[in-house]
Amino acid sequence: MRKWLLMCQVSGVMCHVLVFSGCAAQTQLTAPAADVGMALDPYAWDFGRIKKGLIAKHEFIFKNETKDKIKITDITTSCGCTASKAGKAGLLPGEETAIEVSFNSKGFSGPVQQFVYVHTDSLDKAVFRFIIKADVER
């Protein structure tokens, strides 16, 4: 099995993508830390073109921008092909946590868009929506 570590620099941020090839088993693609595909929207990520059957992962940063402590009460997704979890549930004002999202491209072909909903106990905004996109090729 061949492994390649691709490195790029986007807006001064070093990105790493680990790519596996020549493997019959299901492989995994990890998205770079910088949002290359949708740089202006921290709530969206575009994986670009990916091979059918890959599991693509990305980590969003969720920040408590309120003046109160908030709690992440639930995370739901628009499809069983997408899974997500939060690094921690309780956030003080200004505190951040990672929202890990994985998308299983098995069974998809062409453009795909899925949603991740982060539910909080905040009275100002109870639900935050993250978007992932991919163009799944055979």
Query: 54: which DSSP letter?
Result: -
Per residue in 44-90, pLDDT tens? 999 999 999 999 999 999 999 999 999 999 999 999 999 999 999 99
Tokens 């905004």 locate to 125
Residue 39 banded pLDDT, cuts 50, 70, 90: low
Query: Which one has a higher pLDDT value, 76 or 12?
Result: 76
For residue 100, the model assigns a pLDDT of 97
Q: Tokens for 123?
A: 């009275």
The confidence score (pLDDT) of residue 138 equals 84
| List of domains in the chain | 31-137 (2.60.40.10)
Q: Spell out where the chain has E strands.
A: 2-10, 13-21, 28-30, 44-51, 55-63, 70-77, 82-86, 90-91, 96-104, 110-120, 127-137
What is the reported pLDDT for 112? Answer: 97
pLDDT value at position 77? 96
Extract the tokens encoding 71.
């709690």
Does residue 18 have a pLDDT over 60? Answer: no
Q: Does residue 17 register a pLDDT over 50?
A: no
Say which DSSP state 49 is in.
Answer: E
Q: Is the pLDDT of residue 31 over 80?
A: no
- For the segment 82-130, what is each residue's pLDDT rounded down to a tens digit? 999 999 999 999 999 999 999 999 999 999 999 999 999 999 889 999 9
- Joined together, the tokens standing for residue 61 give 């940063």
* Residues sharing a CB contact under 8 Å with residue 91, sequence separation 6 or more, in sequence order: 62, 63, 64, 69, 70, 71, 72, 97
* pLDDT higher than threshold 60 for residue 14: no
